[in-house]
Amino acid sequence: MGKNVFVTGGLGFIGSHTVLDLVVQDYDVTIIDNLDNAFPEAWRRMKELAGDKAHMMKFIKGDLRNFDDLDNIFSATKFDAVIHFAGRKAVGESVQFPMLYYTHNVVGAVNLIEVMRKHNVKNMVFSSSCTVYGNPERVPINEEHPLKALSPYGRTKLIIEDIFRDVAAAEPEWRIILLRYFNPVGAHPSGKIGEHPVGIPNNLMPYVQQVALGQRDALSVFGSDYPTRDGTCVRDYIHVMDLAEGHVAALDKLFASPDIGCTPINLGTGTGSTVLEMVKAFEEASGKKVAYKLVDRRAGDSVAVWAATETAERELGWKTKLDINDMCRDQWKWASLYPKGYET
Ligand code: UD1
C-alpha cells in the first residue's frame, strides 16, 4: 500500500519539486497551499509533469492559520506523515512586518502540530534553514553548531525547531526530521517549474536570471572586499532537485526509524561558491552577459557559509549529485521557456 503524505506549501518552489519526486516514488500526496506565494499555474504544470501519476496528487486551497481547514482535511484522510514547507521566507519583509511571520509561520506550525496530535499522525519532516546557525562561527557548519536567529524570519524557524524539540521530548512516539537547507537554486530539468519570486528578487540567482533575461539592468554584488578568493561572499548553493530527493530520503528514514526523536540534518553540497563564480556559471549556461556592479556590503551578510554533509550521508544515505553548472543550466531552461514564470 502506498503511503499518504500531507504536504504544506506544496505549490511553492521547493514544495512543488518535492511533491513530484514523491509521486515518482509512489507516495500519495495531499497538498495544502494558501497561494500567497504560489500560483495555480504551478499546479497545472505539476499535473502535466506527473503524467499518469497525476491522480496521486491532490491540491486543497487552505491556510494553516485556520485550524478548521486542517481539521477537515485530517478528518477525511488518514496520513502517514507530513512535510511542512508552508511559510513566509523573506528576511527583509520579516523585519518590517514581524507579526506576519509570527502568525503565518509560528501559528501555522502550532495548528499543524495540534491537528497532527488530534489525528494521531506523528511523523514530520520540517523545512528549516541554515539561517538558524546565525553568523557561523566556523565552516563547514555541522548540526552541533550553536543556534542563533538574526531576523524575525530566522527566529520563526528557530522557534518552530524548539517547539518540535519540546514536543518530541514530551511525546517520544513522534519522529521528526528538521532539514536545514543551504541555498536552494535551479529548476526542474523540464524547465516547466521553477522559482517565481514576486516583486524584486531578494536572493541572488533569481536576480541574476532577470538580468540575463534583460528584465533588470545589472546585478548589485554586495561586497567585494571580503576575505575570500575573489572578495565576494561564499554560499553553499544546492540544486532544488537534489533537495527534493533529500526530502524523500528523510521520509523513508522516518518510516524506518521508530526512535529517531527530533533530529536536525543539513542539506547542502558541502562546497561553497562565490557570488562572482555563480554569475560566471550562469553566463556560461545561458550564453548571456550578466552585467553587474560592485557595491557596498549588505548588512547582516555572513562571509562564508557551507554545510557539513556527513550527517545527511550517514543518516539518509543521501548526497547531492548536481553542481552549479547543472543548477544554472536548469534554471536557464526555466527562465528561457517561461521568462514570466507562472504568469501566462
Ligand atoms: C538568504 C537568507 C537566508 C535564507 C537563504 C536561503 C538573507 C539575509 N538570508 O541567505 O535566511 O535561508 O537566503 O534561501 O536574506 N547577493 C548579491 N546581490 C544580490 C543578492 C544577493 O550580491 O542582489 C549576494 C549576497 O550578498 C550573498 C549571496 O549573494 O552573499 C547569496 O544571497 P541570497 O541569495 O540572498 O542568500 P543568503 O544571503 O545566503
32-62: pLDDT as tens digits: 999 999 999 999 999 999 999 999 999 999 9
User: What are the backbone angles phi and psi of residue 319, rounded to the nearest 5°?
Assistant: -145, 165
Q: How far is the CA of 12 from the centre of ligand 1 (A)?
A: 18
Q: Using a 6 Å cutoff on CB, does residue 131 contact ligand 1? A: yes
- Could you tell me the distance, in angstroms and rounded to a whole number, from the CA of residue 167 to the centre of ligand 1? 31
The alpha carbon of 183 and the centre of ligand 1 are apart by a number of angstroms equal to: 8
As a three-state string, the secondary structure of 69-119 is HHHHHHHHCCCCEEEECCCCCCHHHHHHCHHHHHHHHHHHHHHHHHHHHHC
- CB 219 near ligand 1, within 6 Å: yes
Closest by CA position to 117, among listed 162, 161, 156, 166: 166
Residue bearing the CA closest to ligand 1, atom 27: 233
Atom of ligand 1 nearest to the CA of 221: 22
What average pLDDT does this structure show over 14-19? 98
Spatial contact of 219 and 211, defined as CB atoms under 8 Å apart: yes
Q: Are 270 and 309 in contact (CB under 8 A)?
A: yes
Tell me which fold the domain 4-185+239-267+309-320 belongs to: Rossmann fold (3.40.50)
Q: What is the pLDDT of residues 286-307, one digit of tens each?
A: 999 999 999 999 999 999 999 9
Integer Cα distance of 154 and 126 in angstroms: 14
Length of the chain: 344
| Helix or strand run (H / E) with residue 29 | strand 28-33
CA of 113 to the centre of ligand 1 (A): 30
Closest atom, ligand 1, to C-alpha of 219: 23
Q: Is the CB of 220 under 6 A from ligand 1?
A: yes
pLDDT band at 320 (very low <50, low <70, confident <90, very high): very high
pLDDT, one tens digit per residue, over 133-153 is 999 999 999 999 999 999 999
Please check whether residue 18 is in contact with residue 250, taking contact to mean a CB–CB distance below 8 angstroms: no
* Beta carbon of 204 within 6 Å of any ligand 1 atom: yes
**How many angstroms is it from 90 CA to the middle of ligand 1?**
10
Residues 164-213 pLDDT 10s? 999 999 999 999 999 999 999 999 999 999 999 999 999 999 999 999 99
pLDDT band, residue 2 (cuts 50/70/90): confident
Reading the block at residue 293, the C-alpha cell is 556592479
Q: How many CB atoms lie within 10 A of CB 185?
A: 27
d(CA 13, CA 37): 9
Ligand 1 contacts CB of residue 91 (under 6 A): yes
- Considering the candidates 27, 153, 207, 237, report the single residue annotated as catalytic: 153
Nearest CA to ligand 1 atom 33: 203
Is the shortest distance between the CB of 203 and ligand 1 below 6 Å? yes
Q: What residue owns the CA closest to ligand 1's atom 7? A: 91
Where b means 16+ CB within 10 Å and e means fewer, 230-250 reads eebbbbbbbbbbbbbbbbbbb
> Against a cut of 0.85, is the pTM above it?
yes
To test the pocket of ligand 1, the residue of 235, 277, 297 to mutate (highest count of ligand atoms within 8 Å of its CB) is: 235
Q: Please, which pLDDT band fits residue 162 given cuts at 50, 70 and 90?
A: very high
* Residue 317, SS3 per DSSP: coil
Can 342 be counted among the known catalytic residues? no
Ligand 1 centroid – CA 176 distance (Å)? 27
User: Which residues pair with residue 221 across a beta bridge?
Assistant: 294
Say what the pLDDT of residue 85 is: 98
pLDDT digits (tens, 9 = 90+) for 212-261: 999 999 999 999 999 999 999 999 999 999 999 999 999 999 999 999 99
Q: Which ligand 1 atom sits closest to the C-alpha of 298?
A: 26
Burial class (CB in 10 A: 0-12, 13-18, 19+), 81: buried
Bond from prior residue into 227 cis (ω within 30 degrees of 0) = no
pLDDT in tens, 7-16: 999 999 999 9
C-alpha of residue 266 to centroid of ligand 1, in Å: 18
Confidence of residue 1 (pLDDT cuts 50, 70, 90): low
